[in-house]
Amino acid sequence: DVKVTQSSRYLVKRTGEKVFLECVQDMDHENMFWYRQDPGLGLRLIYFSYDVKMKEKGDIPEGYSVSREKKERFSLILESASTNQTSMYLCASNPSRQNPEAFFGQGTRLTVV
């Protein structure tokens, strides 16, 4: 089974802190994605990556950055956390551009106080 693992289930951070959310997949997938999930809004794409050291902005990239130094690892960075970034964050991967089935991690619920 494909496994997408997010480093934390729950995080509480203070306003202004730099926050790192880590995601690792174990199936050699090319593509990785970061979404945030908010009630009524579904999942919204923050950033994605098609290859190592490659990144592209999604629909809501403001206030976020990402890093992909290794194929299996994709990190989401909140440069200066704000209360409106309190949300559920979901990492996903899919095998390639030709194979669209996405596999999700269990999510990280981030609270910024």
Partner 1 sequence: QQQVKQSPQSLIVQKGGISIINCAYENTAFDYFPWYQQFPGKGPALLIAIRPDVSEKKEGRFTISFNKSAKQFSLHIMDSQPGDSATYFCAASPKAAGNKLTFGGGTRVLVKP
Contact residues for partner 1 (CB under 8 A)? Answer: 4, 31, 33, 35, 39-45, 48, 50, 58-59, 90, 92, 94, 97, 99-107
Residue 16: CB minimum distance to partner 1, A: 29
Residue 80: CB minimum distance to partner 1, A: 27
Rounded CA gap, 26 and 13, in Å? 28
Rounded CA gap, 93 and 68, in Å? 13
Residue 86: CB minimum distance to partner 1, A: 17
- CB nearer to partner 1: give 17 or 41: 41
Instruction: Please tell me whether residue 25 adopts helix, strand or coil conformation.
Output: strand
- CB nearer to partner 1: give 59 or 69: 59
Token representation of residue 81: 């956390």
Q: Name the amino acid, one letter, at 35.
A: Y
